[in-house]
Amino acid sequence: MLDLGSLDFLRGGRLLITGGTGSLGRKLVDILLGKTEVGTVVIFSRDEFKQYEVRNSRSEEERARLRFFIGDVRDGDRLKRAFEGVDWVVHAAALKQIPAAEYNPFEFVKTNVEGAKNVIDAAIDVGVKRVVALSSDKAVNPVNLYGATKLCSEKLFVSSNSYSGSRPARFSAVRYGNVIGSRGSVVPFFLRHRNKGFLPVTDRRMTRFWLTLDQSAALVLNALRDMIGGEIWVPKIPSMRMVELARVVAPECEQREVGIRPGEKLHEMLISSEDAPRTVAFEDHFVVEPVFPWWDSEWHAGKGGTPCQEGFCYDSEKNSEWLQEDRLAEIVAALDLPEAREWARDREEGR
């Protein structure tokens, strides 16, 4: 379980979240306004209605610490304007749907790759101190367009530390699996679909890494605090088979195998064997260190980390930790979704 460490470093500062109206962005806003003394949280996103929803969901006191920028990461000039006076950036904006990427590849490249470049350039030019970018298990040995764009984005953020020069900007990435209950993910889909009497399951062998929004937010903020620049932060999280997840969400439903969608894998990977020689393991996460001439290879080991053995591989099929069904049920019941609340009521009533 990832714990949220001290966030005193945020006191009085200004933090911007690209894609800040998404699932993770809203969770970060909850934490930043409720548990830290950050001076200002800036929401940068494209959808003015979602910004309106976020603003109206906050108290007057909280709104005094919020700022909103309508903009797109494809627009470098707009990013530079938004980044003025910002100390830290969490780059969460991305196009994520795998089938959509297969049929709209150039749009995904514009947002996920060119958008990453724009974030990097703006951060360096304006004087942002630290940037943490969100990546995905799909970036490891990618077989789909979305994963390829996230791999490219990771490489850009890692390499950008070599050309920020004397400017303060430093860049790292966090790489994790499926967030339970996030927008567009499988759990809300199954919850909505269960009244049809069956659930479509792509492949009965399929496994995935799973974590909660709280865990993903903690990983991001802890990385933002502890990063040197160039690391990829990977949480230690459980796996679960899709058929087990479907059984928890809708035990009364038939499972119909429909086949893997374009660009999907049977199993996902968070750390490849090629990354192992540069990976340091901690109690609740890994750090994949960069290959830089100036990099202190002993720094993370000196913080209590243990270098991984050659050949180590962290994938969802061979994971040593598995998400138990009762724990998944607890997580689903706690989701802030109408369909999850209905599911929890049905479960309590034995329906």
Catalytic residue annotation: 138
- The token duo for 96 is 């994520």
List of residues 6+ apart from 13 with CB closer than 8 A: 38, 39, 40, 87, 88
Q: Are 246 and 197 in contact (CB under 8 A)?
A: no
Give the closest residue to 1 by CA, choosing from 214, 189, 273: 214
Q: d(Cα 68, Cα 203) in Å, to the nearest integer? A: 42
- The token duo for 250 is 């809708």
Buried b (16+ CB within 10 A) or exposed e, 322-331: ebeeeebeeb
Beta-ladder partners of 17:
43, 90
Helices (H), 233-286: 242-249
If you search the block for the tokens 């499926």, which residue do you land on? 178
Buried b (16+ CB within 10 A) or exposed e, 103-130: eeeeebbbbbbbbbbbbbbbbbebebbb
Q: d(Cα 322, Cα 210) in Å, to the nearest integer? A: 9
SS3 track for 9-74:
HHECCEEEEECCCCHHHHHHHHHHHHHCCECEEEEEECCHHHHHHHHHCCCHHHHCCEEEEECCCC
Q: Are 233 and 172 in contact (CB under 8 A)?
A: yes
Q: Residue 155 CA to chain centroid, in angstroms?
A: 16
